[in-house]
Amino acid sequence: MRQNHTTQVCIIGAGPAGLLLSQLLANAGVRSIVIDRQDRTYIEARVRAGVLEQGTVDALNEAGVGARMAREGLPHSGFDLAFDGDRHRIDLAALTGQSVMVYGQTEVTRDLFEKRIAEGAQFFFNVSDVVPSDLKSDSPTVSFQHDGQPVTITCDYIAGCDGFRGVSRQAIPAEVLKTYERVYPFGWLGVLTERPPVSHELIYANHERGFALCSMRSNTRSRYYVQCNLTDTVEDWSDDRFWQELSRRIGPDAAADLQTGPSFEKSIAPLRSFVAEPMRYGNMFLAGDAAHIVPPTGAKGLNLAVADVRILSRALIEHYKNGNDHHIDSYSAQVLARVWKVERFSWQLSTLMHQFPDHSPFEKKMQRAEFDYLVQSEAASRSIAENYVGLPLD
Catalytic residues: 76, 204, 296, 300, 388
CA distance 105 to 383: 26
Return all residues near 386 (Cβ < 8 A) that are at least 6 apart. Answer: 95, 96
DSSP 32-101: EEEE-SS-HHHHHH-----EE-HHHHHHHHHHT--HHHHHH-EEESEEEEEETTEEEEEEHHHHHS--EE
249 CA to centre of own chain = 25
| Angle between helix 331-353 and helix 301-322 axes, rounded to 10 deg | 170
Return all residues near 316 (Cβ < 8 A) that are at least 6 apart. Answer: 9, 25, 30, 157, 328
CA-based torsion, 268, 273, 274, 280: positive or negative = positive
Q: Please state, as a whole number, how many other Cβ atoms lie within 10 Å of the Cβ of residue 249.
A: 27
Give the residue among 309, 310, 386 at the shortest CA–CA distance from 349: 386
